[in-house]
Chain A
Amino acid sequence: MMRRSLIAFALSAACAAPVQAANLGDILNQLNNNPDLVNAIGGTVKNLTNANRTIGPQEEQEIGNGLASNMLGAAPLVNDSNLQRYVNDVGVWVASQSGATGINWRFGVIDTNTINSFAMPGGVVFITKGLLAQLHSEAELACVLGHESTHVLRHHHIRAIQSAAGKDALSNALQGVVAYKGNQQAQQIGANLASGFSEVYVRGLDKSDEFEADINGMVLCARAGYNPYALPAVLQTLDALNPQDSNLQMMFSTHPSPRARLDKIDQVVGDRLEPWASGTENTLRFGAATARYTTPAR
Chain B
Amino acid sequence: MTTQPHLLHRIKPLALGLALCLALAGNALAESGVLIRKSDLKQKPFLDAATTGSVASGSTVTITSRQGAWLQVKSASGQSGWVKLLNVRTSTANSSGSVGGTLGTLGKVITTGSSGTTVTTGVKGLTSGEVTSTHPDPQQLSRLNSYATSSSQAAQSARSANLSRKNVPDISVTSTATSQGGDQ
Contacts and interface: CB of A to CB of B under 8 A. Distances in A.
Interface of A: 65-66, 68-77, 81, 84-85, 88-93, 96-97, 104-108, 112, 114-118, 124, 128, 138, 160, 163-166, 168-169, 176, 179-180, 187, 190-191, 194-195, 198-208, 211-212, 215-216, 218-219, 222-229, 232-233, 236-237, 239-244, 246-247, 249-260, 262, 264-274, 276-281, 283-285, 298
Question: Which of A65, A68, A69 has the most C-beta atoms of chain B within 10 angstroms of its own C-beta?
Answer: A69
Contacts of A254: 109, 118, 120, 124-125
Contact of B122 (A75, A250, A258): A250
B164 to A, nearest CB: 5
A271 B141 contact: no
B81 to A, nearest CB: 17
A250 B176 contact: no
Given A75-B130, A271-B177, A200 B136 contact: no
Contacts of B117: 160, 163, 165, 203-207
Interface string B137-168: 11011011101111101110110111111111
B90 interface: yes
Interface string B29-41: 1010100100000
B163 A195 contact: no
Interface in B86-131: 86-93, 95, 98-104, 106-107, 109, 112, 114-127, 130-131
Interface in B30-78: 31, 33, 36, 47, 65-70
Contacts of B168: 219, 222-223, 228, 273, 276
Contact of A266 (B86, B118, B137, B167): B86
A207 B140 CA distance: 31
Given A180-B138, A249-B103, A116 B147 contact: no
A268 B95 contact: no
Question: Which of B95, B122, B134 has the most C-beta atoms of chain A within 10 angstroms of its own C-beta?
Answer: B134
Nearest to A118: B124
A255 B100 contact: yes
- Tell me whether chain A's interface is mostly helix, strand or loop, or mixed: helix
Contacts of B171: 215-216, 218-219, 268-269, 272-273
- Tell me whether chain B's interface is mostly helix, strand or loop, or mixed: loop
Given A253-B103, A268-B173, A236 B88 contact: yes
The 6 closest A-B pairs by CB, nearest first: A116-B125, A270-B177, A277-B68, A253-B107, A72-B140, A92-B154
Given A74-B130, A259-B89, A250 B120 contact: yes
B141 A252 contact: no
Contacts of A284: 161
19 contacts: A69-B141, A74-B133, A75-B126, A85-B147, A89-B149, A93-B154, A96-B154, A108-B144, A114-B130, A128-B125, A165-B117, A199-B132, A207-B117, A208-B115, A208-B173, A215-B171, A224-B163, A225-B165, A239-B91
B99 A243 contact: yes
A194 B134 contact: yes
Contacts of A229: 68-69, 85-86
Given A72-B141, A232-B86, A255-B100, A93 B121 contact: no
Given A88-B154, A204-B118, A229-B68, A280 B163 contact: yes
Given A208-B173, A223-B168, A259-B91, A233 B66 contact: yes
